[in-house]
Amino acid sequence: MPECPVPYSEEEIEIWQDRLSELEANIMVSDEDEGDDDAYASMLTRITDPAEMARIHEAWDAPTDQRIIAANAGAGGSEIVVFGKHTQRLSPASWLFDEVINVYMFLLQERDDELRRQDPTRKPSHFFNSYFFEKMFEPDGRNSYDYSQIKRWSRKIKSTTPKGDVFELDKMFIPVNISNSHWTLAVAFVKEKKFVYYDSMGGSGRDYIAGLKQYFKDEAKAKGKANWETIVDDWEVVLGSRNTPQQSNGSDCGVFTSTTANYLAQDLELRFSSLDADNFRRRMTLELLELQLL
């Protein structure tokens, strides 16, 4: 296969040099946080290898019905197949499908599980798929709430003791597909007792956070926890705002949602911007092709 040239102009290179200089200037280096600095640098590493670029463009240009990868990332470990029509959307200026987002959440879960195998004292996190809120709000969208639709979802959580106890998690991540037009992220920081909504277009996510908060109450009741009616009343609520990284177009929301989840899962601050979006698309493409996070 012929090598694919790296399509970066001198102007783009200068922008990225400025971006990296800014990053270096804003990070205070010490013995304690050198590991974090490495993590930030790793997340922002530019994909430039010609062979990797060729693989990326091959995936972006794949025929619509071509089977690209499959992962046991669905309900009950069922298979999710990613076709060319899905990887085409990883190219710049394209909106991501559920299949890509949900396989990416699966990869984040796989990494978290591996980290716990290496350190059994580590608190687990759980990554639900994009159908969590869709089921929660059936049949009337955000005007309704039905715990019965999702009461069995906590059984998917195998990492807690006891199993299926959402209150024994570190964090819970839920990607939100809003009417097939926008992606956002809701996160329960269980250990910190906080609910946060991340929207790269500044939406508040009030209904989703209210639904998530009620879900935790219903889970507490179902698990027989004391004071279940008030168990999360004092948890902090942080609605979406423009204080988190914001996209500069109408198509990068899925990339921002996935990347935000990746950063938060590593306890990293959200030190990225719309300038990083195209490189994150390349990164996500490679990660899906390898079924492993970089």
d(CA 17, CA 231): 48
Task: Please report which residue ranges of 193-269 form alpha helices under DSSP H.
Answer: 206-222, 253-265
Is 233 noted as a catalytic residue in this protein?
Answer: no
Radius of gyration, CA atoms only, the chain: 20
Q: Give the CA count within 13 Å in the CB-facing half-sphere of 167.
A: 18
Q: Which of 98, 170, 199, 278 is catalytic?
A: 199
H or E stretch covering 38: helix 34-43
Which of 221, 102, 207, 109 lies closest to 157, judged by CA?
109
In angstroms, the CA 34 to CA 249 distance is 34
Q: What are the distances in angstroms from CA 19 to CA 25, 45, 243, 263?
A: 10, 12, 19, 18
Find, among 127, 121, 85, 124, the residue nearest to 105 by Cα.
127
DSSP 152: T
Write down the catalytic residue from 86, 98, 253, 276.
253
Residue 31 annotated to the active site: no
Q: What gap in Å lies between CA 151 and CA 154, rounded to an integer?
A: 7
8 Å CB contact between 159 and 122:
no
Q: CB neighbours (10 Å) of residue 154? A: 20
Residue of 86, 112, 126, 182 with catalytic role: 182
Active site residue 182: yes
Residues marked active site are found at: 182, 199, 253
